[in-house]
Structure 1
Amino acid sequence: MINLNGNLLEDSQASLSVSNRGFAYGDSVFETIRVINGKIMFWEDHYFRLMASMRIMRMEIPANFSPEFLEEEIITLVKANELETSPARVKFSVFRKEGGYYTPETRDIGYVASVKELDDAFYTLSDDFYEIELFKDHYINSGLLSSIKSNNRAVNVLGSIFASENGYNNCLILNEKKSVVEALNGNIFLVKGSVIKTPPVSDGALNGITRKQLLGIVEKIDDYSLEEASISPFELQKADELFITNVITGIQPVSKYRKKEFASKVAKDLLSKLNVKARLGG
């Protein structure tokens, strides 16, 4: 079942027009949400990021788009797909309504939500070998537009094709200043000694939900110090650990970048703390 503008429809009945602005111009934002046994993980952070993204895109936020209303829309969809006792992944997309070319005729919005079952209720650390490389064919620009989850993901798509063609599990994206910004599907963290470092949102990094949770976790651990600072590609091979974060996987340790192989001690420690926070509802 699909939720299209508040209506539950069978997948085969749910459709969007070819004039949909999300398709035609990428005039759309979305949230990827983890739902465990009918409970949305880190819902408050998702909600406020969605609202911020819509404001950045100058969309008209409907009066009924309260946290309670959208939460109910998501949970109803999960139940309609008989996943209320299972881990699930929900994609909630908001698009500006049809009309106009680059200049929209309206700022009003529509929305669509879909759901798929996940394998694990909570985050687990994969032992699979995970190799990454830099993607240098295209860059993303620093600034607010890069920090939101919009449908403009050409760099991520092309980087994913590059990774697949060259046998990498993932790639790191650079901004116009040649600083490392993020991975193709999540935020990047670097560990060197007792310092945990991640690029700032101002560099063009996605304002990730799991990123935010980990920043809060690390700030409370005396053994580590936290830096939100630009990362040069030259720092990567000097790191003790690299790991990637997103709301579906949690934490993905990097095994190898070029000739350097990495440990995963800090990633394991943080993953256990992230699971505790998820169980407590953030």
Structure 2
Amino acid sequence: MHLLYNGQLLQEKDLRLPLTNRAFQYNDGFFETVIVKDGQLRCWQDHQDRLQAAARALQLALPQALQQPLLLQEQLQQLIRQNNATAYGRLKLKVWRSGAGLYTPETTTADWLATAAPATTPTAAPLRVGRCRGVRTSFSPFSFFKGPNALLYVMAGLEKKAKGTDDMLLLSTEGHAAELASANLFWIKEGSLYTPALGTGCVNGILRRNILRWCKAAGVTVQEEFATPDQLVAADAAFAANVTGIRSIAQVEEMVFNPEHPLVTWLQQQVDSL
């Protein structure tokens, strides 16, 4: 497999990183996961925007290559072709602080790595969701993007595996519904769309941004909520959304939802048109 390391196309076997690598030593970085469809980077502008915001939050000075969207897109598409991921694939862009040092960094400059691989189209089967008891989300300047809080989702994934569910509902430290282990959470009640507020510590997902835009443009009432799990009981439907798409939620523990709803169907059609 080929990869891009600081803009240089390499074979995977030729990648060499120092032991002082700050992503390895201190998790001092972040990542973006991008879906590739028919050779195009889905929602590329939204990923660019979050990449810039994450760099500002971590006080990272992005290299010029990451600040030139068209040139970067061309490089990434070349990588996608090299790895036969054009039809449908998953691209991961990792960015971390350069240099060594202990907790106090030596520099604000950044290194980056991009990988791409073919992927299978995700299933549309409704989700069975459990409630995570082991870990909780917490709002911070870093909770809106992926990377610094990765261990939270790892532990939630272990609990999901032990319970045999498809996903896990994560609560905030205040007990509000925040997100799923691998997706943003939405529910529908009386024609309005609800989703946890970013203040719960949930990720500001790429598809989340698009869903909110689509609904507001279509005149659908949208509410970003601090809601307890018990408040979901009265919902007409619930669904999960991440970069791979939208999946209806059939149940969250004892709460059962109708897996079919016109608004969910319409939103899935919007995703298919991306």
Provide the TM-score with structure 1 as the length reference.
Answer: 0.90
**Where in structure 1 are there 5+ consecutive unaligned residues?**
none
How many residues end up aligned between the 2 structures? Answer: 270
CA distance in 2 between partners of 1:89 and 1:82 (Å): 11
Which of the numbers 184, 188, 194 marks the counterpart of 1:187? 184
Kindly indicate whether the alpha-carbon contact (under 8 Å) linking 2:36 and 2:85 is maintained by their aligned counterparts in 1: no
Helix, strand or coil: the match of 1:267?
Answer: helix
Question: Is 1:126 aligned with 2:158?
Answer: no
* Aligned equivalents of 2:124, 2:218: Cα separation in 1: 24
Match of 1:175 in 2: 172
Please name the residue that 1:229 is paired with.
225
Amino acid at match of 1:254: I
Q: 1:125 to 1:219 in 2, by over 3 A?
A: farther
> How big is the shift at 1:27?
0.5
Aligned residue for 2:24, secondary structure, equals helix
Distance 2:130 2:253 in 1: 7
1:83–1:159 Cα change, 3 Å: closer
Partner of 2:107: 106
Call closer, same or farther: CA 1:12–1:151 in 2, change over 3 Å.
Answer: farther
Q: Is the 8 A contact 1:148 1:207 kept in 2?
A: yes
TM-score, normalised with respect to structure 2: 0.93
**After TM superposition, which residue ranges in structure 1, 4 or more long, deviate above 4 angstroms?**
none
Partner of 1:44: 45
Partner of 2:252: 257
Pairwise CA distance, 1:45: 0.7
Give SS of 1:140's match: coil
Candidates 62, 74, 85, aligned match of 1:72: 74
Matches within 5 A, 1:124-203: 126-127=124-125, 129-203=126-200
Deviation of 1:203 (Å): 2.4
Is contact 1:126–1:252 with CA below 8 Å preserved after alignment? yes
* AA matched with 1:72: E
Matched, 1:241 2:242: no
1:164-186 deviations in Å (ceiling 9; x for gaps): 10111111112221111111111
- Distance in 2 separating the partners of 1:151 and 1:204: 12
CA shift digits 1:148-206 (9 cap, x unpaired): 11243111101110011011111111222111111111110011121210012232121
Q: For residue 125 of structure 1, report the CA deviation from its aligned partner.
A: 6.2
What secondary structure sits across from 2:271 in the alignment?
A: helix
**Structure 2: runs of 5+ lacking an equivalent:** none
- Cα separation, partners in 2 of 1:111 and 1:193, compared to 1, 3 Å: same
Secondary structure at the counterpart of residue 59 of structure 2: coil
Alpha-carbon distance in structure 2 between the residues aligned to 1:272 and 1:37: 17
Percent of counterpart pairs with the same letter? Answer: 26
Counterpart of 2:117 in structure 1 is: 116
CA separation of 1:25/1:81 partners in 2, compared to 1, >3 Å: closer, same or farther?
Answer: same
| Root mean square deviation, CA, Å | 1.6
